[in-house]
Structure 1
Amino acid sequence: MKKFLATLLIASTVTTGASLIAPTQAHAAPEATIVSSVNFRSAPNTSASSLRFLKAGEKIQIISKVNDYWYYVQTTQGQLGYISTSSKYVKYAGAGSSTGSSGGSSSSSSSTVNKIISAGKKYMGTPYEYASDRSNTRTFDCSDFVRQAFKDGAGITLPSDSRGQGSYVKSLGHSTTNWRNLKAGDLMFFMDYKGTSKSSYPSNTSNQRITHVGIYLGNGQILHTYSKDSGGVRIDNIAGKHWEYRFMYGGSALK
Structure 2
Amino acid sequence: MRNSRLSKSLLGITLSASLLLSANLVLSPQAVHAASVTTATATSTALKANSILATGKQYMGVRYQFGAPKGSTRSFDCSSFTQYVYGKSGVNLPRSSQAQSHVGTYVPRNQLQPGDLVFFYSPIHHVGIYMGNGKILHTYGSPGVTISDLNSNWWSSHYSTARRVL
TM-score (norm 1): 0.48
Q: Give the aligned partner of residue 232 of structure 1.
A: 144
Per the alignment, in what secondary structure is the counterpart of residue 250 of structure 1? strand
Q: Is the 8 A contact 2:71 2:84 kept in 1?
A: no
Deviations 1:106-141 (A, max 9, x none): 111111111111111111110000000113211000
Q: Does 1:168 align with 2:103?
A: yes
Q: Does 1:183 align with 2:118?
A: no
Pairwise CA RMSD of aligned residues?
1.7
Q: Give the aligned partner of residue 219 of structure 1.
A: 133
TM-score (norm 2): 0.72
Query: By percentage of residues, which structure has more helix?
Result: 2
Q: Separation in 1 of the partners of 2:87 and 2:40?
A: 24
Percent of pairs identical after alignment? 36
Per the alignment, in what secondary structure is the counterpart of residue 137 of structure 1? coil
C-alpha deviation, 1:245, in angstroms: 1.0
Q: Is the 8 A contact 2:120 2:160 kept in 1?
A: yes
Deviations 1:56-102 (A, max 9, x none): xxxxxxxxxxxxxxxxxxxxxxxxxxxxxxxxxxxxxxxxxxxxxxx
Q: Separation in 1 of the partners of 2:155 and 2:41?
A: 26
Q: Separation in 1 of the partners of 2:68 and 2:79?
A: 9
Q: Does 1:142 align with 2:82?
A: no
Correspondence for 1:159 among 91, 94, 97: 94
Count of residue correspondences: 128
C-alpha deviation, 1:210, in angstroms: 0.3
Per the alignment, in what secondary structure is the counterpart of residue 101 of structure 2? helix
Query: By percentage of residues, which structure has more strand?
Result: 1
Question: After the TM superposition, which segments of 4 or more aligned residues of structure 1 sit over 3 Å from their partners?
Answer: none
Q: Which amino acid aligns with 1:209?
A: P
Q: Any unmatched runs of 5+ in structure 1?
A: 1-102, 192-207
C-alpha deviation, 1:151, in angstroms: 1.1
Q: Give the aligned partner of residue 33 of structure 2.
A: none
Q: Which amino acid aligns with 1:241?
A: N
- Pairwise mapping of residues 27-42 of structure 1 onto structure 2 (< 5 A)? none
Q: Is the 8 A contact 2:116 2:165 kept in 1?
A: yes
Q: Give the aligned partner of residue 124 of structure 2.
A: 210
Q: Which protein is bigger by CA-based radius of gyration?
A: 2
Deviations 1:140-198 (A, max 9, x none): 0000001111011x1222100001100113xxxx213x42320011000110xxxxxxx
Q: Separation in 1 of the partners of 2:153 and 2:41?
A: 28
